[in-house]
Structure formats: structure tokens, C-alpha cells
Amino acid sequence: MRPSIISVNIGMPKVIRYADREVSTAIFKERVDTGALLTRTGFLGDKQGDLKNHGGLDKAACVHAFEHYPYWQEELKLKLAPGAFGENLTIAGMPEEAVCIGDLYQIGEAVVQVSQPRQPCYKINIRLDAQNMPARIEEHGSTGYYLRVIEEGKIMNSDVPALLKRDPLGVSVAYVNRITHHEKDNTQGIERILSVEALSDSWRDRLAARLKDRPL
């Protein structure tokens, strides 16, 4: 399938009541028909509610593959509009299996690089009014992934992403998910992921710590 942008989605943080406490979240993204300017720190008009765990240069934009929507609509018995997983870009034709850490893409006016899988957090439970969504998403493999920005520029709905350069090691987002969530003791797999220069610092630290803590 030829890749295409289904929807550009942005949102600002708001405070909601969840589990008897107040939570700041920007997971409720809305489609912007005019597109949006992607800067090195994210889309204009878009912020994160938790800057400790979200945002930053390695996580300027979040992608979710449109191919996963039918599965989750059936699983959750919900009609899901693009942006339902809190992603900035809903993209068809670029699922986790087809995208590698370090890949460079031209999307509209912007040039971006895949930096890491998304680590889903409990706020997806809030957005979808469902339970245990982080674990369910990890099990299914539909985590999505993050982009760092190499060149800033505007991205429009219906823009066609173009692969500029495939990372030479060819470590897919799906492979990183499999090693991280399902084959946690696969030392060879962890070392292969760590050899990818473009891997985000946070993900590198996480996997390096796993190697350090493994039994001798």
C-alpha cells in the first residue's frame, strides 16, 4: 500500500478527573483540516500533559498506523476516528513491520526520522474508556512510534510520505517491540537494537540497563 496521511491531529493539555484524582492529559487530539507546522519539538498547537514521559526532540510527533483501527474497533466495539490513540499522525501504509528505527521520511515539507516505538501509558485507558489498554496494545503490537524532526515544515492531510533513506541495519519497530515486550532475555536481539545509531536515548538507556542486569 502506498503510504498516505489519513489525519493530522493536535491537542492541548486539559485536566480531567480519573480514578478519583485530577490528571493533566493532551491525549484528546483533534483533526486539523488545514494541516499543521511540525517543529523540532512538535506540532504548533500541540502540547503534552506530562513532559517527564512525553515530548522532547526524540518524540516530536507520534504516529499510529491506520491499519490497526479495524481491529480495535471490533475489539472495543467502538467507532474510532483518526487520532483516537492520541497520535499526531494517523498514517496508512506504514505499520510497525514496515518501518525501521532510523528511517528517514519526507512528509509534506518536513523531513523526519523514526526514533523509537511508542510506550503506551494508562491515559489511553482514559481516551478509549477501556481497561488494561497499554498491555493489550503491547500484546497486539500496535504501539505506534515516534519521529524526530530533521527539517521543520508543514504537514497536510493527504500528504504522501516518501522514504528518503532506509536505516542500513533494518531494525523494524515491530522487531523492537517483540524483543522489548515478548523476548526480554534475548541478549542478541537487544544488542542488535542498541547498534542502531538513531535509537532514542531513553530507549537505549532502557535496553542497556536490561543487559546490565541480566544474570551472568
pLDDT tens-digit series, residues 95-135 = 999 999 999 999 999 999 999 999 999 999 999 999 999 99
Under 8 Å between Cβ of 181 and 150:
no
Amino acid at 156: M
Contacts of 212 (CB under 8 A, 6+ apart): none
Q: Which helix or strand (DSSP H or E) is residue 34 part of? A: none
* Beta carbons within 10 angstroms of residue 93's beta carbon: 17
Q: What is the pLDDT of residues 190-211, one digit of tens each?
A: 999 999 999 999 999 999 999 8
Average pLDDT of the segment spanning 82-107: 98
| Greatest extent of the chain over all pairs of C-alpha atoms, in Å | 55
With 0-12 / 13-18 / 19 or more C-beta atoms within 10 angstroms meaning exposed / middle / buried, residue 135 is exposed
Reading the block at residue 142, the C-alpha cell is 500496535
Give the residue carrying C-alpha cell 483518526.
82
Mean model confidence pLDDT for the chain:
94
Under 8 Å between Cβ of 106 and 164:
yes
User: How far apart are alpha carbons 92 and 161 in whole angstroms?
Assistant: 10
Q: Where do the domains of the chain lie, and which CATH numbers do they carry?
A: 4-166 (2.40.33.20)
**Per-residue confidence (pLDDT) for residue 48, from 0 to 100:** 73
Q: Is the pLDDT of residue 4 over 80?
A: yes
User: How far apart are alpha carbons 60 and 121 in whole angstroms?
Assistant: 17
User: How far apart are alpha carbons 52 and 33 in whole angstroms?
Assistant: 30
pLDDT grade, residue 54 (50/70/90)?
A: low
**Per-residue confidence (pLDDT) for residue 49, from 0 to 100:** 56
**Per-residue confidence (pLDDT) for residue 216, from 0 to 100:** 54
**Per-residue confidence (pLDDT) for residue 215, from 0 to 100:** 60
Q: Which helix or strand (DSSP H or E) is residue 89 part of? A: strand 89-92
**Per-residue confidence (pLDDT) for residue 213, from 0 to 100:** 73
User: How far apart are alpha carbons 85 and 143 in whole angstroms?
Assistant: 9
Under 8 Å between Cβ of 8 and 38:
no
Q: Is the pLDDT of residue 50 over 70?
A: no
Percent of the chain exceeding pLDDT 70 equals 95
pLDDT grade, residue 177 (50/70/90)?
A: very high
Q: What is the pLDDT of residues 27-47, one digit of tens each?
A: 999 999 999 999 999 999 998
